[in-house]
Chains A and B, each alone.
Chain A
Amino acid sequence: MTTRRTFTLAAIGTALAAAFSVSGAVVAFVLGPLRRRAPQEPVLLDVGPASAFEALRAGASGPEEILVERAVEDGYMTRRVKERFAIVRDGRAASGLAALATTCSHLGCGVSWDQGRNAFLCPCHGGVYGPDGAVLAGPPPKPLTCLPLVVSGGRLQLDASALDA
């Protein structure tokens, strides 16, 4: 039997269902960036001739900053962005070198090499990293992200597949 009460309940239920459907679609859209793509095959970025870093490998000079360009999925488009890395010595790697991302692990400011203090310094909250990227002082919770460098055909290549993109 139709009563005022059942009508009210039905009306509220229908309105809620409609509202939830619309909000569901909107929320799914807003949460879109949470979906991560499966890790792809190694992304190798060319850094330059391996011979250019001979002095660094031999320990005769400090870290060298380089810019590499890579494609990044950015919202509605794929952009080519430049990123700054510091090439440092790494005895464990076959190439003798590794690349440190110059992004502070604390809040993402750009760190730069300070020859005088023999450390990477962050200008934001005072993070300090050693030449191997390990935290020496300040708030950073993790060392600088370290990416492997491989030598192939005389060229030094940066394996950027570990980078979030």
Chain B
Amino acid sequence: MKRLFEFLESRAGLTTLWRALADEPVSVRRAWLFTLGSAALVALLVQFATGFALALAYAPTPDHAWESVKAIQTRLPAGALVRGLHHWGASAMVLFVALHMARTFVFGAYRRPRELNWLVGLALLLLVLGFGFTGYLLPWDQKAYWATVVGTRVPAALPIAGVAASRLMAGGPIVGAATLTRFYALHVVLLPLLTFAFVGVHLLLMRKHGHAGPTDEPDPREPFFPYQAARDGAVGLALVLALFWLAARHPAPLERLADPTDTSYVPRPEWYFLPLFQLLKFFKGPLEPVGTAVLPGVSMLLLALVPWLDRGASRRPRDRRLVLAAGGAGAALLLGLLYFGVLDTPKGSPSGLDPASQPPPDARLLGGLASYERRGCASCHGADGRPAPSPGANANGAALFPLATRAHTLTGDALTAHVKEKSVKAPATDEDGENPDKDVPSLLAYLEALGKDGPRFSALPQPIRAGGAAIDREDCRQCHQLYGEGGRRGPVLAHLLGKRDKDWLVAHFKEPKKLVPGSKMPPFRFLPDTELSAMADYLLALP
């Protein structure tokens, strides 16, 4: 071992390098506040690693981007975890870069001779925001598309080169294939290279001038290793654990496939762009560039000039009241805009299907669920087969029978008889004299699923539930395959998203021959429009 170290030292000077890094004197006071920069670095490394992994499976074209992200999210091993880490890592980057910058600002650590490093840090902030902006177009879902439409239009109102800048960003007159390749190239090639270079310079300059330390004496120092290294490590570890927790508990969202014709969608950007988005509401007509360019530009310029505007001898906050008040006002404005931006954001997107969470359950199970609810099974067995509060008895004193995730005592014909006998309400309103118990097979399938893994379908979006139930009730499987089961007369019901849109599907349900000449499918005009639209939602959510 010793000889290995001697070899590395003589050939590469590694031991000397290590000593130089490890023995750097750092302040003992306020030491925890000096971990923010290294936390940002940890987040950056997480982004590099997870970003590389995502790039392996991602396809930057409008035809495949959403599908590939959906595959990452739902099918590929550890895909949801990696994407979750990348999603939350992006927010962590912005958060820690901002905190690190705020700390530097309050401590006046940008003062001579560290002016240049402040500028490098500012450039890194812009790069991080650039990553955010180019990154969230990539999934090509509704949020991605509309946020980018707004983002690429922002420069268009500027005088002289505005329209040209907007066209250059989008790669053409519309947000489309060219925008996606441009943003992808920026996100995975140019921005990482620049970030890598700037982080290198940032660290080199930090070492050159040493660590600025707290704002007043005394400033005792200790070697970086092991003291500050341990603190940095602790914060970094906590951050990584937090990212894992977030990725596991709050998966990265993936909304519906981008739909440029959906005017009902309410676009909102990621939180770190929300203040800017909110700002744009206040400047009307010809004043628009004030919100899009003048205010952000002037703020960045002021920030860049801070080392030259604030040049006294003392770094103590009480000697820099004006600068700190200005900085505080700026921060308050930013947070205020963020706050009002959040207030203005509608709860739950109107196109609230989240196909990424899970593919919709088999239509038969949803048909069974509908019949479970219609027959009033829940009054004894509870919603989702989980009897509510006091187990053992309901209001009428009857025994309660949980059905979820447990073996059923009744099977076969006995179960069918029980269902027919005990149903609280009439099974179906049937005008055409059909068998009133034709829903029983679906109900039994649902009960069987309840017994096995107790699915909680009541949390599914209403259109998915209603649509699936209608598809089961109308027996679409007579002619169509769904989840590998059903007739072969009609096309397989899978992968419809991207090929068909909702308007088309609904029009097709009503009059199949009009859209597909020679179609043998009977028209379903008699179903209410809400149900047809729910059926389209269900079909579009199918994997």
State how many angstroms separate the Cβ of B106 from the closest Cβ of chain A.
33
- Of chain B, the residue at the smallest CB distance from A65 is B263
CB neighbours of A79 from chain B (8 A): 62, 176-177
Q: Which of B47-55, B279-287, B312-320, B484-492 contacts A (4 or more CB under 8 A)?
A: B279-287
**A75 to B172 alpha-carbon distance, docked (Å):** 7
**A72 to B280 alpha-carbon distance, docked (Å):** 29
Residues on B lying within 8 angstroms of A by beta carbon are 62, 146, 149-150, 152-154, 157, 164, 167-168, 170-174, 176-179, 181, 260-267, 277, 280-286, 288, 501, 503
A157, CB-defined interface residue at 8 Å: no
Q: List 16 A-B contacts (CB under 8 A).
A: A31-B168, A72-B173, A77-B177, A79-B176, A82-B260, A82-B501, A102-B263, A107-B150, A107-B154, A110-B262, A110-B264, A110-B265, A112-B263, A123-B267, A139-B282, A141-B288
Check B154 against A75 for contact (C-beta < 8 Å).
Answer: no
- Of chain A, the residue at the smallest CB distance from B291 is A139
A75 interface neighbour in B177, B262, B264, B280, Cβ under 8 Å: B177
**A37 to B176 alpha-carbon distance, docked (Å):** 18
B263 interface neighbour in A31, A111, A164, Cβ under 8 Å: A111
CB neighbours of B288 from chain A (8 A): 106, 139, 141
Check B267 against A138 for contact (C-beta < 8 Å).
Answer: no
**A135 to B168 alpha-carbon distance, docked (Å):** 28
**A72 to B149 alpha-carbon distance, docked (Å):** 16
Check A141 against B286 for contact (C-beta < 8 Å).
Answer: yes
Q: Which of A77, A83, A123 is packed against the most chain B CB atoms within 10 Å? A: A123
CB neighbours of B167 from chain A (8 A): 33-34
CB neighbours of A41 from chain B (8 A): none
- Of chain A, the residue at the smallest CB distance from B283 is A139
State how many angstroms separate the Cβ of B219 from the closest Cβ of chain A.
45
B267 interface neighbour in A73, A81, A109, Cβ under 8 Å: A109
Chain A, 107-147, contact with B by CB distance < 8 Å: what is the 0/1 string? 11111100000000001111000000001001111000000
CB neighbours of B266 from chain A (8 A): 123-124
Q: Contacts A81-B260, A108-B149 known; A139 to B281 CB distance under 8 Å? A: yes
Check B168 against A30 for contact (C-beta < 8 Å).
Answer: yes
- Of chain A, the residue at the smallest CB distance from B179 is A75
Check A33 against B177 for contact (C-beta < 8 Å).
Answer: no
Check A107 against B149 for contact (C-beta < 8 Å).
Answer: yes
Not counting A102-B263, A125-B277, a sample of 12 additional A-B residue pairs whose C-beta atoms are within 8 angstroms of each other reads A33-B171, A33-B178, A34-B168, A72-B174, A74-B62, A76-B177, A84-B261, A110-B146, A112-B263, A123-B265, A124-B277, A126-B281
Q: Contacts A83-B261, A138-B284, A139-B288 known; A75 to B146 CB distance under 8 Å? A: no
Closest 10 CB pairs of A and B: A75-B178, A110-B263, A74-B176, A112-B263, A123-B266, A164-B173, A75-B177, A107-B153, A108-B149, A108-B153
B181 interface neighbour in A34, A75, A109, Cβ under 8 Å: A75
Check B281 against A125 for contact (C-beta < 8 Å).
Answer: yes
A52, CB-defined interface residue at 8 Å: no
**A135 to B174 alpha-carbon distance, docked (Å):** 23
**A135 to B501 alpha-carbon distance, docked (Å):** 31
**A140 to B286 alpha-carbon distance, docked (Å):** 9
**A111 to B262 alpha-carbon distance, docked (Å):** 9
Within 8 A of B (CB), among A16-52: 30-31, 33-34
A162, CB-defined interface residue at 8 Å: no
**A111 to B261 alpha-carbon distance, docked (Å):** 10
A73 interface neighbour in B146, B172, B181, B283, Cβ under 8 Å: B172
Check B173 against A109 for contact (C-beta < 8 Å).
Answer: no
A165, CB-defined interface residue at 8 Å: yes
CB neighbours of B181 from chain A (8 A): 75-76
A11, CB-defined interface residue at 8 Å: no
CB neighbours of B260 from chain A (8 A): 81-83, 110
A165 interface neighbour in B173, B178, B264, B284, Cβ under 8 Å: B173
A67, CB-defined interface residue at 8 Å: yes
Q: Which of B282, B286, B288, B501 is packed against the most chain A CB atoms within 10 Å? A: B288
Check B170 against A81 for contact (C-beta < 8 Å).
Answer: no
Check B150 against A124 for contact (C-beta < 8 Å).
Answer: yes
Check B146 against A109 for contact (C-beta < 8 Å).
Answer: yes
CB neighbours of B261 from chain A (8 A): 67, 82-84, 110
Check B168 against A141 for contact (C-beta < 8 Å).
Answer: no
Check A109 against B150 for contact (C-beta < 8 Å).
Answer: yes
Check B263 against A33 for contact (C-beta < 8 Å).
Answer: no
**A6 to B164 alpha-carbon distance, docked (Å):** 42
A125 interface neighbour in B152, B164, B170, B280, Cβ under 8 Å: B280
Check B168 against A33 for contact (C-beta < 8 Å).
Answer: yes
State how many angstroms separate the Cβ of B440 from the closest Cβ of chain A.
42
Q: Contacts A34-B168, A125-B281, A141-B157 known; A84 to B263 CB distance under 8 Å? A: yes
CB neighbours of A139 from chain B (8 A): 280-285, 288
State how many angstroms separate the Cβ of B185 from the closest Cβ of chain A.
10
CB neighbours of A82 from chain B (8 A): 260-261, 501
**A107 to B146 alpha-carbon distance, docked (Å):** 10
Check A74 against B172 for contact (C-beta < 8 Å).
Answer: yes
Check B285 against A75 for contact (C-beta < 8 Å).
Answer: no
Within 8 A of B (CB), among A63-116: 65, 67, 72-77, 79, 81-84, 102, 106-112
**A75 to B178 alpha-carbon distance, docked (Å):** 4
**A78 to B288 alpha-carbon distance, docked (Å):** 33
**A73 to B170 alpha-carbon distance, docked (Å):** 13
B178 interface neighbour in A76, A110, A124, A138, Cβ under 8 Å: A76
State how many angstroms separate the Cβ of B385 from the closest Cβ of chain A.
39
**A82 to B172 alpha-carbon distance, docked (Å):** 17
A33 interface neighbour in B172, B264, B277, Cβ under 8 Å: B172
State how many angstroms separate the Cβ of A77 from the closest Cβ of chain B.
6
Check B267 against A124 for contact (C-beta < 8 Å).
Answer: yes
**A23 to B495 alpha-carbon distance, docked (Å):** 43
**A124 to B41 alpha-carbon distance, docked (Å):** 34
**A111 to B168 alpha-carbon distance, docked (Å):** 25
**A110 to B262 alpha-carbon distance, docked (Å):** 7
